[in-house]
Amino acid sequence: MEKLVGTGVALVTPFKEDFTVDTMALTTIVKHCIDGGVDYLVVLGTTAETATLTEAEKQLVIDTIISANAGTLPLVLGIGGNNTSNVIETIKRRNLDDFIAILSVSPYYNKPTQEGIYQHFKAIAENSPLPVIIYNVPSRTGSNILPSTVLRLANDFGNIIGIKEASGDMAQVMHILKDKPKNFMVISGDDMTALSTVMAGGMGVISVLGQGVPFAFSKMIRLGLQDQVKAAFKLQYALQEGMGLIFEEGNPAGIKAVFEALGIAKSGVRLPLVPASDQLRDKIEKFVKPFAGQHAQ
């Protein structure tokens, strides 16, 4: 799917001082990403603190992003969980008219076997009216989707169109790239290995840092897709410190500190998460300074 080539960003949910959803800041973030040249937006991913949002708040986030985007960029909706029947129920209940695909995280906490993971995504594929992107993020879920399971799903279900691969294991990424069906997309879910994934044959990234510094990050991925290796890696090395900093004390505390440094949104997160420390905020502020005000031509 060509609309998913390049840089997608997993949008945060900004909060006001009282921890209600800050719709004005969210609108500004969407416009910041559009102006910065990203290719698509991911709504209600794990970076959005979806686990701590009520159903009403989730709908508010969806409505705010759709309104702010105004049809400019393709939208992907995160619908995942560790209760398969509940995920299917949510897919059926949501109005998906404004979205081009669903991003669904591998079941967390339950620690299913590879067969369990296969059956989970089989059930989702058979019940989703939209194409499905598998999301593998072992550091969050407690289990890894092995390449053999990914390839089995890719071959068995035409509407499972890709994987957001966030294991950070390039050997695993390359195994999938080597043996995948022709049109199956491998999308990096790990900022640090995003360019390496693209250079190995991946189609892009769903990034966290990319929403904070969209111009530089999306340009790096674009250069990688064009095989402009030296120019792409020059940007990789300029961004690399930030890729580490934003995850130093957990996600999305780091990227929210980026938005506060840019004057776009407050850095508050909901418990059990806590905001970035003062020391980390200082380092993030110094990192962000050279990228402030950059826009796509």
The residue from 164, 180, 219, 283 that is catalytic is: 164
Q: Which residues of the chain have pLDDT under 70?
A: 297
The C-alpha atoms of residue 76 and residue 254 are separated, in whole angstroms, by: 23
In the chain, domain spans: 2-231
Query: What does the pLDDT read at residue 24?
Result: 98
**Residues 134 and 150: beta-carbon distance below 8 Å:** yes
Whether the Cβ atoms of residue 237 and residue 263 lie closer than 8 Å to each other: no
Report the distance separating Cα 237 and Cα 234, nearest Å.
5
- pLDDT of 198-208, one tens digit each? 999 999 999 99
pLDDT of residue 292: 86
Query: Does the annotation count 164 as an active-site position?
Result: yes
Give pLDDT, residue 297: 57
> Considering 40, 108, 118, 135, which one is annotated as catalytic?
135
**CATH T-level topology, domain 2-231:** TIM Barrel (3.20.20)
Name residue, tokens 């995920």: 87
How many other CB atoms sit within 10 Å of the CB of residue 17?
A: 8
Q: Is 135 a catalytic residue?
A: yes
Structure confidence at residue 293 (pLDDT):
79
d(CA 247, CA 171): 22
Alpha carbons 80 and 55: distance in angstroms, whole number: 14
CB 107 within 8 A of CB 84: yes
Copy the structure tokens of residue 45. 């991913």
What is the Cα–Cα distance from 141 to 103, expressed in whole angstroms?
15
| Residue 143 near residue 111, CB atoms below 8 Å | yes
